[in-house]
Structure 1
Amino acid sequence: MSSNAGCSSSFATDYARHRVPLSPVQRAILAAGAAAISFADPFRGDMIACLAETTGSDALSYCHQKMLATSEGSRILAEKPRISSSTIDFSALKQLPPGTLGRIYYDFLDVNNVSPDSRTAVRFVQDTELAYVMQRYRETHDIYHALLLMPTTMLGEVSVKWIEAVQLRLPMCFSGAIFGAFRLRPRQRKLYVEHYLPWAINTAVGAKFLLSIYFEERWEQPLADFHREANIVPLVPLNT
């Protein structure tokens, strides 16, 4: 269901084409501009991506070390698999039994009309290894939504952002979680404070490090089994 052979070298080659070298001053200016635009217009995905890359160096180093600490995470870094329509057989995921991780991921993409191919290529992370960590995070974001059973509503996005913020320590995730919460309607805000936020923090602290999970090798795993293994208690029930 995937064909990631040779992805390690292909990522390095691909990233060399996209990489934009920056001086410290250029990085600071770009980060400030991206922050200003992102706060004014939270739907500017390009600016949010830019902000993440120009402010996330320490967090990416932390994530890299966390991944190296497990055999599964180490293999991800060594093999550098990609998640896209050219590497994942989505027609095969569609045929998997309901309740499996791969089928739930496929259904999430289908229901929400999203594609992993829409993820922005990393450009401003200077180290190729750390650039891959950022790219992996972007390409697994929708998988987090699917396995956590969180929709793409503002409430769902903010909840997932808190989990990513606590686990990954990316400044962009913290700002997205905090400022996104201000956009919630009164009824959503009540649910957020009483249920979603405590659940997100507890999940982030107690669950396995999501970036170290080789999802491509787990498509056939029942989500209920994955939840037990990863120490995740879903906030909403899994309907199969």
Structure 2
Amino acid sequence: MCRLLKCCCGPSSKTMKMLISLIMARKLCGIYHVCYTWGKTNVIPRRFLAAINNDFKRAKFEEDFLSSHIETTGFQKFLLTVGSAAVSLLDPTRADMIAVMGETAGDSAFRYILQTMQSDSEGQEILRNRPRINSLTVDLEKLRQMPDGTLGRAYIAFLDYNKVTPDSRLTVQFVDDVKLAYVVQRYREVHDLIHTVLGMPTNMLGEVTVKWVEAIQTRLPMCVGGALFGPLRLYPKQRQKYVKYYLPWAIQTGTNCKFLMNIYYEHRWEQPIIELHEELHIKMLEVPKS
């Protein structure tokens, strides 16, 4: 070490300055972000960089909202609600019609969700930052490398097993208020995460169970409709399990667990899912093997 310092201080003091600069840069890395622009070095506190990034996310969502928003009158919304509800009942696979019904018939529920999120510190942070969940904002490959038992690993396993992608969620079109539009978009994008946290598959039995939990927590009409009418499409054996195990568990979970829209999932990828269950007061469903 002494020889190194002597060497650096000897022929060229410039080398020593560069070495000191590198050491200082490494120490400041956790607090500051160092950028190089046009030959100049700019040091920016990371908290300011995070604020800029969050402002960018908000602006990006507002840009997407304006580009996709379709302005409608109250009467037009009524017609869209009736039409989309009829099509959804005849063909439950029409995700586009279910989405339209959800947007045009759920104004009071949107306001309830917004108010509930505003009353919680984690919910406030979500509303403030307006994060999105898709393949551009979430490093899916990084989630695959996380340890077993973490939320991130469980989520990517859910996506892979069910052959779904976070990019499949439609953009909100018929909600006029940007704050409420984000609430709807957030609900859509965390739906698969709710499946993951609850340990529910994407078959009809799993979907109906999740819809009960979501209906109790969000009061969304489309969730209420799915919870009430979805069981009609269950097979007899599924219906028996549903009535005996899944329905009581869904009602108890939806009533007792923490509001699932208030979870900043992106900050919890590395959290053990068992620990998350304890925090949210979720007891996993256990169905005896028949």
Q: TM-score range by the shorter chain?
A: over 0.9
Letter matched to residue 161 of structure 1: K
SS of residue paired to 1:161:
helix
Aligned to 1:28, what secondary structure does the other structure show?
A: helix
In the alignment, is residue 184 of structure 1 matched against residue 234 of structure 2? yes
Alpha-carbon distance between aligned partners in 2 of 1:60 and 1:109, rounded to the nearest angstrom:
27
Indicate whether 1:43 and 2:85 are aligned.
no
Whole-angstrom CA distance in 1 between matches of 2:91 and 2:228:
15
Match for residue 34 of structure 1?
Answer: 84
Looking at structure 2, the residues matched to 101 and 138 of structure 1 have their Cα atoms a distance apart, in angstroms, of 18
Letter in 2 for 1:103: R
Tell me what 2:197 maps to.
Answer: 147
SS across alignment from 2:159:
helix
Instruction: Specify the alignment match of 1:109 in structure 2.
Output: 159
How far residue 179 of structure 1 moved from its aligned partner, in angstroms, is 1.2
- Contact 1:149-1:236 at 8 Å conserved across structures: no
Structure 1 stretches lacking a partner, 5+ long: none
- What's the counterpart of residue 63 of structure 1? 113
Q: CA deviation at 1:9?
A: 1.3
**Matches of 1:166 and 1:197 in 2, distance apart?**
12
2:143 counterpart (93, 96, 111) = 93
TM-score when normalising by structure 2: 0.80
Q: Per the alignment, in what secondary structure is the counterpart of residue 182 of structure 1?
A: helix
Amino acid at match of 1:35: A
Superposed counterparts of 1:90-239, under 5 Å: 90-236=140-286
**Partners of 1:162 and 1:201 within 8 A in 2:** yes
Match of 2:34 in 1: none
Q: CA deviation at 1:130?
A: 0.3
How far apart, CA to CA, are the structure 1 residues paired with 2:75 and 2:194? 34
Q: Return the offset for 1:7.
A: 1.2
* Post-superposition offset of 1:86: 0.1
- Ranked by relative contact order (alpha carbons within 8 Å, sequence separation 6 or more), the top structure is 1
Going from structure 1 to structure 2, the CA distance change for 1:146 and 1:211 (only over 3 Å counts) comes to: same
Larger strand proportion of the pair: 2
Paired AA for residue 122 in structure 1: V
Listed as ranges, the gaps of 5+ residues in structure 2 are 1-49
Residue 177 of structure 1, CA deviation: 1.3
- Deviation of the 1:89 alpha carbon: 0.4
| Residues 6-25 of structure 1 aligned to structure 2 (within 5 Å) | 6-25=56-75
- Pairwise CA distance, 1:185: 0.4
Larger Rg: 2
State percent identity of aligned pairs.
Answer: 51
Whether the 8 Å contact between 1:46 and 1:120 is mirrored in structure 2 is: yes
**Offset at 1:159?**
0.1
Runs of 4+ in 1 over 6 A off after TM superposition: none
**Aligned Cα root-mean-square deviation (Å):** 1.1
Cα deviation per residue 1:114-139 (whole Å; 9 max; x = unaligned)? 00100010000110000000000000
